[in-house]
Amino acid sequence: MSQKKPNSMILGTGKAVPERILTNHDLEKMVDTSDEWIRTRTGIERRHIADDHIKNSDLASQAARAALEDAGISAEEIDVILLATVTGDATFPATACYVQEKIGAVNAAAMDLSAACSGFLYGMTLADSLIAAGKAKHVLVIGVEILSRITDWTDRSTCVLFGDGAGAAVFGPAKNGAGVIDTYMKSDGRLTHLLCMIGGGTSVPMKVAVEENLIYLKMEGPEVFKAAVTAMGDAAARILEANGMTGDDVDLLIPHQANIRIIKATSKRLGLDDEKVYINVQEYGNTSAASIPIAIAEAREKGILKPGMTTLLVAFGGGFTWGSAIVKF
């Protein structure tokens, strides 16, 4: 097993999900689908949806405050805020700046990061690097999405999959052997067209996007599925091998929660039993950048993820982007 000494560790975690729940049975009344189809194809039973007045930065701030409290760190002690999202409050400024104002992190530099479902893993890689380089002591990493606002609620092939929420983690200097052991990131920009929302950017400005109905997320589900199974399995196997570890050294796999079948394929490749895999896709659906930090916070709250445990995080998303991390709690 790896002897690598970590530079940073997770000091505290928090999550925020909207109260309103949309079940598979609710969706049966909206599009031609069934609870049975959604559960067997995806594992999803319900998802949380933000009411119209709730902003991305509201959910992010709620999760951030919970993470700060859990870490015992004041907002003033945060040096950098990295917020991963594809559904920010505005095109600019960065949603991280709205969060900075809301939580009072007056001493921080704040910026957003766009890596779809891999956003939190990318963010924690940067947080770990900033702390290792001595550029920051405390970094707040947030993964947050309000995907319901870019979902076409008449398209059954996508609207059953996604949900809203936020998760956050405070990173600080490692101590007592706990911390980020390693991280891995990769992208393939040849596959941008398979999962995207092009309307509203500068290639298809918002006015044109509205006229041409390009205002929703589009996904080639089966293509994304195949790529996700391969990339998540590869990312997990690769980081374990690079650190002289096997699935036996992992206490808990915390994968991106997109689809139960992708999660099972990943855990099977690593030879992990079900009790070593954290799954909450049934409750939240795919919350993209928020999915891993929500899962970490929830697993800690439930006492499933305990101090001393070695976790393997793995994600895949639009871009395509993917990655993995080994974190000792």
In the complex with ligand ACO, the residue whose CB is nearer, 317 or 323, is 317
Per-residue contact string for residues 83-122; x = within reach of ligand ACO by CB under 6 A: ---------------------------------xx-----
Residues paired with 270 in a beta bridge: none
Query: With contact defined as beta carbons under 8 Å apart, do 84 and 123 qualify?
Result: yes
Active-site choice (138, 159, 256, 259):
256
Per-residue tokens: 154:
């008449």
Active-site choice (117, 138, 159, 196):
117
Determine whether 243 is an active site residue: no
Q: Is 192 left (phi over 0), alpha (psi -120 to 50) or beta?
A: alpha
Closest approach of ligand ACO to the CB of residue 118, in Å: 8
Closest C-alpha to 113, from 86, 90, 151, 79:
86
State yes or no: residue 286 binds ligand ACO (CB under 6 A).
yes
Query: With contact defined as beta carbons under 8 Å apart, do 88 and 110 qualify?
Result: no
Q: Diameter of the chain by CA atoms?
A: 57
Of the listed pieces 12-20, 127-135, 201-209, 223-231, which binds ligand ACO according to CB under 6 A?
A: 223-231
Query: With contact defined as beta carbons under 8 Å apart, do 313 and 184 qualify?
Result: no
Closest approach of ligand ACO to the CB of residue 115, in Å: 9
State yes or no: residue 292 binds ligand ACO (CB under 6 A).
no
What is the radius of gyration, based on Cα positions, of the chain?
A: 19
Return the residues of window 157-186 that contact ligand ACO according to CB under 6 A. 157, 160
State yes or no: residue 149 binds ligand ACO (CB under 6 A).
no
Query: Which H or E run contains 99?
Result: helix 95-103
Per-residue contact string for residues 252-281; x = within reach of ligand ACO by CB under 6 A: ------xx--x-------------------
In the complex with ligand ACO, the residue whose CB is nearer, 172 or 319, is 319
Determine whether 97 is an active site residue: no
Could you give the CA distance from residue 175 to residue 172 in angstroms, rounded to a whole number?
9
Going by DSSP bridges, is the β-strand pair 179-187/321-328 parallel, antiparallel, or unpaired? antiparallel
Active-site choice (7, 24, 259, 286):
286
In the complex with ligand ACO, the residue whose CB is nearer, 152 or 301, is 152
Return the residues of window 12-41 that contact ligand ACO according to CB under 6 A. 33, 37, 41
Determine whether 117 is an active site residue: yes
Could you give the CA distance from residue 89 to residue 95 in angstroms, rounded to a whole number?
6
Active site residue ranges: 117, 256, 286
